[in-house]
Chain A
Amino acid sequence: MYLELPNKLKGLQMMSANLAKEMFRPISRKYDLAEHEYPKELDMIANMLDGMNDGEQGGVAGATQSSKAKKPDNGEVKNGSNMASLIGIQELCWGDTGLLLSMPRQGLGNAAIAAVANEEQLERFKGKWAAMAITEPDAGSDSASIRTTAKKDGDYYVLNGEKIFITSGARADLIVVWASVDPSLGRAAIKSFAVEVGTPGLELARLEHKLGIKASDTAAYILDNCRVHKSNLLGDPEVKVEKGFAGVMETFDNTRPLVAGMAVGVAKASLEKTKELLKDCLKDNYTTPVNNLSAVEAGIYKMEAEWEAARLLTLKAAWMADNAQPNSKEASMAKAKAGRMCNDITLKCVELCSGLGYSETELIEKWARDSKILDIFEGTQQIQQLIVARRLLGKSSAELR
């Protein structure tokens, strides 16, 4: 048992931290103010990362690289691609979450493709930037109730519906769209389709104006008789009612710890800056009982403890994935804990830093806006609690809704 980062990941960590510091931080405020403007600086960074990722076992910013490991044959413990991706993402989000989410070719859609596409599709979509479109105006948390349809017409599917909140939707090359091939068959009929931007019938409706992560664009699309070739259906075209929803949802076991990692990174940024600003008030060195300290110092230590707990839970979830252990419950635990921890800490830091924390001179107020989304997307706080509760109590989704 040992819960420290191994040396072999420390290099990656340092590299990501440097990138975050030298490339993200300097333009962090700029794109917070210039919402919807494309952060062109990212192209260069992305090219650089592509080169690095080719040679590495885990990517720096790659949701793409995280996946279920095969069981190691020799029983040896692994610190693999899930942990590597997590570390990279965490450090980059210390720099800027919005920019991380805008990294070309590192979208959630890429993760989905990596998880379910066949060989031919993997080859064809290689190097493409893929966004993910599940959410609809009337279906968010309840993603099984989406209404977008995909009707078979010869060699094509005809897609109709409305998708909202698509991260990088206006910047990506293609969008992975969830649609039902037969609404009468329920959730098992939901399939994902790679729809290339520019396909007739795929119309950009708008970009959202948001509370935070403004560097990341969030698009809404209308699908109006959008014809997609059947070879763009990802995974198995058959509707297997007995298999249900599990397949598509599995992707989330891998991506939830990554979003938790984002939260760990943002909270770290905020706490670190706050400690720096308050350094004259912090005299103790983790020795005096917390109730004998000043309120500020006690508060800082308590936040640090919360942060460590979330960080370790997140590492645990990734470690389990790397070692082929089922981690659905732990992934949700990590996401729930990290999401609320990050929101609590970033808000408290604004409070502790008073006017300085609240003003745009520092990034502390920005982190406290950015943090909110991390407790919402990839499953809200409540949805994570629901998943954990069902697992612990042994309840079905019909019993515990």
Chain B
Amino acid sequence: MSKPPIGYALAAMNSVASSEWIDKLGLRNAIEKLTYQGTKTGFQALGAATRQFKNVNKQLNPTRLDKPKGQSDLFDLSITDEQQMMKDTVQRFAQDVVRPAAATADSAGFTAPDLLAQATELGLAYFAVPESLGGAAVEHSPITNMIVAEELATGDLGIAVAILSSIGVANAITQWGSGEQQSKYLPAFLDEKPLPAAIAISEPTPLFNANELNTTAKAAGDTYILHGKKSCVALIESAELFLVAATTEGKGNQLFLVESSNEGVTIEKSPAKGLKPANVGTLVLNNVKVPKQALLGDANINYQTLLNYSRLAWCALACGTAQAVLDYTIEYANDRVAFGEPISHRQSVAFMIANIGIELEGMRVMTQRAVALAERGEDFQRAAYLAHIFCADKAMEIGTNGVQLLGGHGFTKEHPVERWYRDLRAIAVMEGGLHL
């Protein structure tokens, strides 16, 4: 058997413990920032060059992951030992590696390739790719995936998106892709230089509704012709593969695997209010011709379910970031003195923090509930929908109160709260992008 998932987690724990990464990053960031900024302005360009996919190990039928088994029907908030270990590992990575790199990645507008390489060592992609294709995944565990997303986001939301974007595409292909799509693309997520990829659903229209897409996919002979614009797409400059949502005639909304070097694919750099480390931008599809086989899975792919997984991923990220706000404001309010005592001794300050704690706990249980239903293959439409409404709302409330609690200092880049404020606005806005 290949290395069990927990083996990767443990291996990663060791590498996080060595301070080498951080040192390396610390050195590199400043230099990279300079060179990078020099080459960037608003522009429209070709996307990243797509690698040659090896397509070895060709399988006719898709491999699907099992549901975790042997579970009782009791109400239970505990997590398994493996999940706890995963949580601890990612938590350390978030604290030791992600958080120190966050400010730089935010101003650079991308996450340093180095850091992404370190993240690769966590072995997350192995959880997304089935054993038969070289990965380590046997079961599909949205609960574990939620834990990972939440913990990563305690370090930084934008970096978490940069790390999870490709894995989201891998998850989607594992869950919905055809045998051919799986054997073509999935091994590439485990390459030494893993395949950067992104799910593209949002479009640049006000009141965007993921169920009413403007991007179209017209069947023409053996091909589909895709046309439209996708906004806030992560890893816009580096992604070699996009999973694009488009509306079809007769088949409703579907997803298409579009390689960045397909003719007619261009990208526009369009940085957003936040999520800067995720390097979000616009994907322009100008009558892009893709083969029939680019349609993800067969007709039984459930677009709505895919949206739900994405929303829950954003909920998990919101929980992690809100936790970061809570931890930071607690420390700050206990340290900061005004009128002769710590500001935390004043109720209007203390209650604001209490409410961050309360609503965050609400966000967490709402997300956990939906994710646990998904894990067992039960209907989670309503739970995911309500979790998302709740998280979107409370995340922003927490984001704005985080800044408020630091006063004018919170408004400056001396503290991360202004970044969290910008990032947390994304929770209500983003559709797609990730997949638990």
Q: Is B357 among interface residues, defined by CB-CB distance under 8 A?
A: yes
Q: Is B351 among interface residues, defined by CB-CB distance under 8 A?
A: yes
C-alpha gap A150/B389 in the complex (Å): 53
Given known pairs A310-B362, A312-B365, A393-B334, the reply for A4 and B73 (CB within 8 Å) is yes
How many Å from the CB of B299 to the closest CB on chain A?
19
How many Å from the CB of A249 to the closest CB on chain B?
18
Q: Is A302 among interface residues, defined by CB-CB distance under 8 A?
A: yes
A292, A316, A319, A336: the one contacting B209 at CB < 8 Å is A292
Residues from chain B with a CB closer than 8 A to the CB of A319 are: 75-77
Given known pairs A292-B207, A301-B385, the reply for A309 and B353 (CB within 8 Å) is no
Cβ-defined contact, A289 with B365, below 8 A: no
How many Å from the CB of A108 to the closest CB on chain B?
24
Cβ-defined contact, B77 with A1, below 8 A: yes
Residues from chain B with a CB closer than 8 A to the CB of A285 are: 381
Q: A286-B385, A389-B350 are in contact. List 19 more A-B contacts (CB 8 A).
A: A1-B368, A1-B372, A6-B73, A77-B76, A83-B75, A285-B381, A289-B207, A290-B389, A305-B387, A308-B383, A310-B362, A312-B369, A313-B361, A313-B365, A333-B358, A385-B347, A386-B347, A393-B333, A400-B345
B72, B350, B355, B363: the one contacting A395 at CB < 8 Å is B350
Cβ-defined contact, A286 with B381, below 8 A: yes
Query: CB-CB contacts of B352-386 with A at 8 A, as 1s and 0s?
Result: 01110111011101101101110110000111011
Question: Can you offer 22 A-B residue contacts whose CB atoms are under 8 A?
Answer: A1-B79, A1-B143, A1-B371, A2-B72, A2-B376, A286-B381, A287-B381, A288-B211, A292-B207, A305-B386, A308-B386, A313-B362, A313-B365, A330-B361, A336-B354, A337-B362, A386-B351, A388-B354, A389-B353, A393-B353, A400-B344, A400-B345
Q: Looking across the interface, which residue of chain B has its beta carbon closest to that of A336? A: B358
The number of chain B residues with a CB under 8 A from chain A is 53
Residues from chain B with a CB closer than 8 A to the CB of A389 are: 344, 347, 350-351, 353-354
Query: CB-CB contacts of A374-392 with B at 8 A, as 1s and 0s?
Result: 0000000010011011101
Q: Is A208 among interface residues, defined by CB-CB distance under 8 A?
A: no
Residues from chain A with a CB closer than 8 A to the CB of B362 are: 309-310, 312-313, 337
Q: Looking across the interface, which residue of chain A has its beta carbon closest to that of B144? A: A1
How many Å from the CB of A85 to the closest CB on chain B?
14
How many Å from the CB of B110 to the closest CB on chain A?
29
C-alpha gap A315/B372 in the complex (Å): 15
Q: Nearest 5 pairs between A and B by C-beta?
A: A309-B362, A389-B350, A312-B365, A389-B354, A286-B385
How many Å from the CB of A270 to the closest CB on chain B?
17
The number of chain A residues with a CB under 8 A from chain B is 48
Given known pairs A292-B207, A309-B365, A400-B345, the reply for A2 and B333 (CB within 8 Å) is no
Q: Is B330 among interface residues, defined by CB-CB distance under 8 A?
A: yes
Residues from chain A with a CB closer than 8 A to the CB of B359 are: 309, 337
Given known pairs A313-B362, A393-B330, the reply for A400 and B350 (CB within 8 Å) is yes
Given known pairs A305-B390, A313-B365, A319-B77, the reply for A393 and B344 (CB within 8 Å) is yes
Residues from chain B with a CB closer than 8 A to the CB of A330 are: 361
Given known pairs A290-B389, A388-B354, the reply for A308 and B79 (CB within 8 Å) is no
C-alpha gap A77/B363 in the complex (Å): 23
Residues from chain B with a CB closer than 8 A to the CB of A288 are: 209, 211
How many Å from the CB of B382 to the closest CB on chain A?
5
Q: Is A399 among interface residues, defined by CB-CB distance under 8 A?
A: yes
Which chain A residues in 285-301 approach chain B with CB under 8 Å? 285-292, 301
Q: Of B76, B210, B304, B381, which is in contact with the most chain A CB atoms at under 10 Å from its CB?
A: B76
Q: Is A354 among interface residues, defined by CB-CB distance under 8 A?
A: no
Q: Looking across the interface, which residue of chain A has its beta carbon closest to that of B210? A: A289
Q: Is B326 among interface residues, defined by CB-CB distance under 8 A?
A: yes
Residues from chain B with a CB closer than 8 A to the CB of A121 are: none
Q: Is A231 among interface residues, defined by CB-CB distance under 8 A?
A: no
Which chain B residues in 379-425 approach chain A with CB under 8 Å? 381-383, 385-387, 389-390, 393
How many Å from the CB of B52 to the closest CB on chain A?
39
Residues from chain B with a CB closer than 8 A to the CB of A289 are: 207-210, 431
Q: Looking across the interface, which residue of chain B has its beta carbon closest to that of A381? A: B351
Q: Looking across the interface, which residue of chain B has its beta carbon closest to that of A10? A: B73
How many Å from the CB of B291 to the closest CB on chain A?
31
Given known pairs A301-B389, A394-B334, A395-B344, the reply for A6 and B350 (CB within 8 Å) is no
B355, B365, B431: the one contacting A316 at CB < 8 Å is B365
Q: Looking across the interface, which residue of chain B has its beta carbon closest to that of A395? A: B344
Cβ-defined contact, B361 with A333, below 8 A: yes
Q: Is B78 among interface residues, defined by CB-CB distance under 8 A?
A: yes
Residues from chain A with a CB closer than 8 A to the CB of B355 are: 385
Q: Is B31 among interface residues, defined by CB-CB distance under 8 A?
A: no
Cβ-defined contact, A3 with B365, below 8 A: yes
Q: Is A184 among interface residues, defined by CB-CB distance under 8 A?
A: no
C-alpha gap A389/B355 in the complex (Å): 8
C-alpha gap A317/B353 in the complex (Å): 20
C-alpha gap A394/B345 in the complex (Å): 11
How many Å from the CB of A236 to the closest CB on chain B?
33
A290, A316, A382: the one contacting B77 at CB < 8 Å is A316
C-alpha gap A11/B86 in the complex (Å): 37
How many Å from the CB of A110 to the closest CB on chain B?
26
Q: Is A225 among interface residues, defined by CB-CB distance under 8 A?
A: no
Q: Looking across the interface, which residue of chain A has its beta carbon closest to that of B373? A: A4
Q: Is A306 among interface residues, defined by CB-CB distance under 8 A?
A: yes
Cβ-defined contact, A392 with B326, below 8 A: yes
Q: Of A1, A291, A306, A382, which is in contact with the most chain B CB atoms at under 10 Å from its CB?
A: A1
Query: CB-CB contacts of A116-147 with B at 8 A, as 1s and 0s?
Result: 00000000000000000000000000000000
Cβ-defined contact, B75 with A382, below 8 A: no
Given known pairs A286-B386, A291-B207, the reply for A79 and B77 (CB within 8 Å) is no
Q: Is A5 among interface residues, defined by CB-CB distance under 8 A?
A: yes
Q: Is B74 among interface residues, defined by CB-CB distance under 8 A?
A: yes
C-alpha gap A292/B209 in the complex (Å): 7
How many Å from the CB of A320 to the closest CB on chain B?
8
Which chain B residues in 188-245 approach chain A with CB under 8 Å? 207-211
Q: Looking across the interface, which residue of chain A has its beta carbon closest to that of B141? A: A1
Query: CB-CB contacts of B318-332 with A at 8 A, as 1s and 0s?
Result: 000000001000100
Residues from chain B with a CB closer than 8 A to the CB of A302 are: 389, 393
A6, A291, A304, A385: the one contacting B74 at CB < 8 Å is A6
Cβ-defined contact, B74 with A77, below 8 A: yes
